[in-house]
Amino acid sequence: MRPLPAIVRTARVERAIFAALGLVVLTTTFLVTAAAPLLTGRYDAAARAAVTDVAPAARDVTLTAFGEGGRTRAPTVRADDVLRSLADQIGAMTPGALRAVTGPVEYTVATRPLPLPAGSGADPSLPDPSRRLLLEWDPGVAARVRYIDGRPPHNPVPRARGRPVVEAGLDAGTMAALRLQTGAELPFTLGSEPVIVRITGRYHPLSAADRYWSARPGHTGPIVRRSTEGTEYTGVGVLDAAGYQTVHDATDTSFDFTWRLPVRPDAFTAARAGPAVDAIARLGATVTDLQVASGLTGALGDFRGQLRTAQAVLSVALTGLFAVAAGVLALVCRLLTERLRAPLATMRARGASLAQLGSGVGAAALLVSLPAAAAGYAPAAALVPGTAALSGALAVLAAATLVPVVLACRAHSGAGESGRTDLVGRRATPRRLVLEGLAVALAGAGVVALRTRGLTTGSADRGADPFLAAVPVLLGCAAGLLTLRAYPYPLRLVGRLTARGRSVVSFVGVARASRQSTVAVLPMIVLLLATAVAGFAGTVESGLGRAQERSAWMATGADARVDGLRLDVAGADRLRRVPGVRDVVPAQFVDGATFSSPSQVIDVTLVAVDLAAYRRLTAGTPIRPPAPPAASAASTRAGSAVPALLSPGLARRAGPGPYTASAGVIPDLSIQPAGTADAFPAAGAGDAFVVVPYRSLGAEATPTMFFVRGTGMDPAGLRRAAGADAVVTTRAVVYDRLTGTPMAALVRTAFGYGTLVVAGYATLAILLALIIGSGPRGQTVSYLRTLGLTRRQARRLAVAEVAPALLCAAVAGWVVGLLLPHVVGPAIDLRPYTGGFAAVGYAPDPLRTAALGAGLIVFAGLAIAIETVISGRRRLGTTLRMGAQT
Amino acid sequence: MIEETGTVASDDLAELERRAAGEAPAYGADAHIVCDNLVRIYKTEGVEVVALQGLDLLVQQGEMVAIVGASGSGKSTLLNILSGLDVPTAGVAKVAGADLLSLSARERLRFRRELVGFVWQQAARNLLPYLTAAQNVELPMRFSGTKARARRERAGALLDLMGVGHCAGRLPREMAGGEQQRAAIAVAVANAPQVLLADEPTGELDTATSGEVFAALRGANRELGVTSVIVTHDPQVAEQVDRTVGIRDGRTSSEVVRRTLRDEAGRERIVAEEYAVLDRAGRLQLPKAFTGELGMKDRVRLALETDHIGVWPDRAGREDERDG
């Protein structure tokens, strides 16, 4: 620790570079600590949102044995303790992954709903089919209700002799809906045995907000079902255990047994969602006697797909980001040791041991990076829910402290100045060539492996795939190395051109650029990785955006679509008069039409639309409806057969003709296939469909659908114009629904912030590249200024010197970024975000490319401005003497 | 004087010992700095620069030697090797008993800390710019683990000895060039090294200031008894040392030895005699001025006389060739 004061003083002199170290440590610590937990937190929130989107009653995992008519036969269980032990068994059989997100097993036993007997309703002489009662034993209810009159049911054990009487309690609201009173005795026939149900009291739930009730709608009010025949009310008569036993023993009625695993949405995390769904399936396979059901399976299936994609895409971006951060950190450390080289050499020559030098450098770096790491960790820890991991921050701190130590020790480990600066190696060492070749080969092998492996490993379910994330970084590094090897050649050409030109700035700048030291090579790789990350994010995002837009167009078929069963032809004219509407095309969609040939009958969707008009309507949009069949095909059998377009699947399956299309509402059509159409808007993807001309349905056909083109249309206005039962779907709403899912928003936000951070790092990399070159450039500039170089030309020299490398790195990085989605393509499935439409063709987005170019110029300009300010303080004389001093 | 005889006596004993062991005395066995057939080749990817090609040099303990030579002759390389900052490719280099070709890292560190000190031409390399003169002098002592109190006292004493005691609290940039170099000498001798090496210590200074710096070097040599080797271009410096060694093309080529003679009237007179160096292989570098004057090239004729060797240009041979 002895040389510490001296090195700390050095730090004060080199404060710019130490400040850069601090800044990089701060941001990197923040990123390392916050990024992954924040993302996980957002994934978890999305998982909970997906769970809570499912209605509570449908959400829970239920294991049911239906008394009769169901898939499974009811076990003959008469005593409550048996039910409870069965519940315990089910609890024990439940896979841990499911148990983690559910509460303790609950169970209920219920009879079927029974119409209230005669004498209890409005007309006492008849049973009332619109009011029903079912009897249920649910051990959780008694503790959660308060009887406002009467008393809780209390059935004696053993039951009294004679005609069985069962006591039951009812919810107050239900009682009112069923028009029952406390004390009523209802004669039912359960199975084939008569039973009297005595209503002992009315209850209110202690807390209506209790989640217990959300899965039991019948306990806190009547279950109301409205249909064309009228309204039907069903109430639940709450039994006690003895009551259930009485019903069981006295009658031969059948029961529905339900064991329920109540889902706890707050226990859900993204990591638990997938295993929980699998566990439900496993449980279903294990418990074959019972029917296992949960609404989660479907809801979380979508979420899993989205999560997998988000994790794949974001892990690639995040790894790239971390690689950039690591590169910038390495760059700063390298620059730091370069700056300390002279004083360290003097100290070494004066007898400092490596340990003394190393501890001094380490202490100086620690003095800066420790507070910086703390400053980066604190806000991250505040942002992250729970306790933030310290390991990332410690790793950054260790790197920021130890890398300069290692570099300094390596630089000063030998006898001393064994090299001569006036001797320059021309060719790369074999070791470097081998290492570079290895990196390129590794990247190539990684790409091949990734592409052949594809999605088959399913490691995405277990979290981010490290291999998937590592390959793009490797690829970026390999591209960087290749660029570095290749770019001197065009530069040499440019150099030859500039040597002939008149401008001294470009000549000297390019000449200096082609003699960059290896220190300046690192910023290039960092910059390349940074642009690759930005390019990747941009390409995926624009590809996703295009797919979502196309998907929204395909789902609606136009700017707006009006569906209805009772639309009329005149509706089109009324719609045209709605403000904003430019064009309207009527169409008829008949789901469940049949397409028959002599050999088979296939269910199809029949689409009747005027294709020419529809194509006019969709001109200039992302969807291209098929062209109408050629007129010749139509005229050959005019009158007899309708020229039709078939979906590819249908065309394959149809077999030889003649064909007929028939649906209840339209006359049968004899079909003449005139081609295939890959897809048709508004027809479900993958469905078989037949497209026929609208006029083939006859003059009196009514449309079921209007495609509406226009801007700024009011959906309510469209509905009014179209008719009573019309349903209006606008493309904007569909698009918003696609893009508004939590996961889609998450991916977009993450990409946005990621690009911002990467841009910051890129600026820093450019700045560091400039600082690295500033010493020798300062000398050149000073020398040239004595020969008459102006101040402005000196500034431009800095640009000319770094611009070629910068441009090469940025272009190469952008190309890598564009290629990445293709490279990792098999592992990135955007369909969960686009409603099933694959994102086709990740094409470069001209707007984004322009934005990148502009950003690069802005950031490079910023870096040059900062460098000018830093170096501007030096006087000519000082700069000229600098060479002598180093 | 008593000490002097003591030294002589011990030298004699060593000689006797060696004879008893039956060994011939090694080349420069009694010298403080020994360079024997020293070779240093810089090699980078197909380009080789031979900076030293078989250089011999002996410096006795307490001697003050100047090394002169044209730029590129290998002076600085020699000094870097002697200071342990560079490693020779072949040959023997010993300084104060340490064999510079086979130093371990630990020995090299000890060598730098305790055995040598040096002064570079540029003040920026000698002094850390953000430390005061006194702190700079203390720095080597910090490395070697001297106690703070002893450090401070010695730093003050050394700066006083160099005549820059008034600069103790100043930063290098607040000092004049000569003051900086004198402080640098104080830094170099801070750990009481046995050898002081200086690479053009007066190179950037004017005559008057360089005189002061040389006086400081001389003071260090006399007061502290440190063996001094100074690479210089400065004739003023070269003329004041006991011995000036000339280097040409990576070899020692000439020596000027100065002696103080007392004439009959008792006046002191410094006599400088220039010699050519005859190395152990019998090689001799003839001064370019001599060979050029007589048109000597490629071959010369030698003739052994009773007390000297005659060298003649090879005229006859050339005529023979022309005739042939």
Q: How far is A510 from chain B (nearest CA, A)?
A: 25
Interchain CB distance below 8 Å, A343 and B128:
yes
Round to whole Å and give the CA distance between A367 and A766: 25
Which is nearest to A471 in space by CA: A456, A483, A486, A454? A454
Terminal Cα-to-Cα distance of chain B (whole angstroms):
68
Q: Is A419 on the interface with B (CB under 8 A)?
A: yes
Amino acid at B279: D
Q: How far is A361 from chain B (nearest CA, A)?
A: 15
Round to whole Å and give the CA distance between A275 and B195: 76
**What does A463-489 look like in DSSP terms, one character per residue?**
S--HHHHHHHHHHHHHHHHHHHHHTHH
Return the pLDDT at B319: 54
Interchain CB distance below 8 Å, A351 and B86:
no
Q: Is B321 exposed, middle or buried (0-12, 13-18, 19+ CB in 10 A)?
A: exposed
Q: Which residue has the tokens 């020969």?
A: A787
Q: Is A420 on the interface with B (CB under 8 A)?
A: yes
Tokens of A169: 């309690």
Interchain CB distance below 8 Å, B46 and A6:
no
Tokens of A153: 């049911």
Which residues of A fall within a CB distance of 8 Å from B42? 419-420, 423
Tokens of A370: 């420790």
Q: Using alpha carbons, list the distances in angstroms from residue A815 to A189, A286, A373, A448.
A: 78, 52, 34, 19
Q: How far is B219 from chain A (nearest CA, A)?
A: 21
Please list the helix, strand and coil fractions of chain B in percent, rounded to the nearest 5, in that order.
Answer: 40, 30, 35
The closest CB to that of A425, out of B44, B83, B84, belongs to B44
Nearest residue on chain A to B112, alpha-carbon basis:
A351
To probe the interface with B, which of A10, A12, A350 has the most B CB atoms within 10 Å?
A350
B interface with A, Cβ–Cβ < 8 A, is 42, 44-47, 49, 80, 83-87, 103, 105, 108-109, 112-114, 118, 122, 124-126, 128-131, 135, 139-140, 142-145, 187, 191
Which residues of A fall within a CB distance of 8 Å from B118? 349
Mean pLDDT score, B145-157: 88
To probe the interface with A, which of B48, B50, B80, B112 has the most A CB atoms within 10 Å?
B112
Q: How confident is the model at residue B5 (pLDDT cuts 50, 70, 90)?
A: very low
Tokens of A417: 């100045």
Return the pLDDT at A874: 55
Return the pLDDT at A25: 92
Q: Using alpha carbons, list the distances in angstroms from residue A875 to A17, A785, A791, A878, A881.
A: 20, 12, 12, 5, 10
Nearest residue on chain A to B124, alpha-carbon basis:
A885
For residue range A225-238, list pLDDT tens digits in order.
Answer: 876 667 788 888 88
Instruction: Report DSSP state, residue B112.
Output: I
Which residues of B fall within a CB distance of 8 Å from A353? 109, 143
Nearest residue on chain A to B79, alpha-carbon basis:
A417
Q: Is A875 on the interface with B (CB under 8 A)?
A: no
Which is nearest to A224 in space by CA: A292, A177, A164? A177
Interchain CB distance below 8 Å, A350 and B112:
yes
Interchain CB distance below 8 Å, A6 and B139:
yes
Side-chain-side CA neighbours of residue B258 (13 Å)? 17
Return the pLDDT at A767: 80
The closest CB to that of B85, out of A347, A349, A426, belongs to A349
Interchain CB distance below 8 Å, A884 and B144:
no
To probe the interface with A, which of B109, B115, B195 has the most A CB atoms within 10 Å?
B109
Q: How far is A12 from chain B (nearest CA, A)?
A: 9
Interchain CB distance below 8 Å, B130 and A13:
yes
- What is the number of other CB atoms lying within 10 angstroms of the CB of residue B258? 15
The closest CB to that of A9, out of B49, B113, B130, belongs to B130
Interchain CB distance below 8 Å, B143 and A350:
yes
Which is nearest to B161 in space by CA: B179, B132, B186? B186
Q: Which residues neighbour A850 within 8 Å (Cβ) at sequence distance 6 or greater?
A: none
Return the pLDDT at A418: 47
Q: Is A350 on the interface with B (CB under 8 A)?
A: yes
Q: Is A402 on the interface with B (CB under 8 A)?
A: no
Interchain CB distance below 8 Å, B84 and A352:
no
For residue range B17-71, list pLDDT tens digits in order.
Answer: 665 555 555 677 778 898 888 888 887 666 777 888 888 888 888 889 999 888 7
To probe the interface with A, which of B44, B50, B104, B136 has the most A CB atoms within 10 Å?
B44
The closest CB to that of B87, out of A349, A413, A415, belongs to A415
Q: Which residue has the tokens 């679509």?
A: A561
Which is nearest to B35 in space by CA: B10, B62, B67? B67
Which residues of A fall within a CB distance of 8 Å from B76? none
Round to whole Å and give the CA distance between A284 and A85: 19
Round to whole Å and give the CA distance between B178 and B157: 18
Interchain CB distance below 8 Å, A351 and B144:
yes
Nearest residue on chain B to A428, alpha-carbon basis:
B45
To probe the interface with A, which of B115, B125, B173, B205 has the most A CB atoms within 10 Å?
B125
Return the pLDDT at A631: 55
Side-chain-side CA neighbours of residue A347 (13 Å)? 33
CB pairs under 8 A between A and B: 88
Nearest residue on chain A to B85, alpha-carbon basis:
A416
Which residues of A fall within a CB distance of 8 Å from B187? 350
Which residues of A fall within a CB distance of 8 Å from B105? 354, 413
A706-734 burial string, b = 16+ CB within 10 Å, else e? bbbbbeebebebbbebbbeebebbbbeeb
Q: Which residues neighbour A790 within 8 Å (Cβ) at sequence distance 6 or greater?
A: none
The closest CB to that of A417, out of B45, B80, B108, belongs to B80
Which is nearest to A346 in space by CA: B122, B132, B229, B228? B122
**Average pLDDT, 10 consecutive residues per value, chain A (886 residues):** 60 78 90 84 84 80 70 56 84 85 86 76 61 87 87 79 83 85 83 84 86 83 77 86 82 83 84 84 82 82 79 81 88 85 83 84 88 90 78 89 88 62 57 86 84 55 62 84 80 80 76 64 81 82 81 84 79 82 83 78 82 83 77 50 80 74 75 78 72 76 82 81 79 83 81 84 80 72 76 76 78 83 71 66 69 76 73 54 42
Interchain CB distance below 8 Å, A347 and B128:
yes
Return the pLDDT at A549: 83
Q: Is A409 on the interface with B (CB under 8 A)?
A: no
Tokens of A801: 């010197």
Q: How far is A517 from chain B (nearest CA, A)?
A: 16
Return the pLDDT at A886: 36
The closest CB to that of A3, out of B44, B45, B143, belongs to B143
Interchain CB distance below 8 Å, B139 and A350:
yes
Nearest residue on chain A to B118, alpha-carbon basis:
A350
The closest CB to that of A415, out of B85, B128, B131, belongs to B85
Tokens of A802: 């770094």
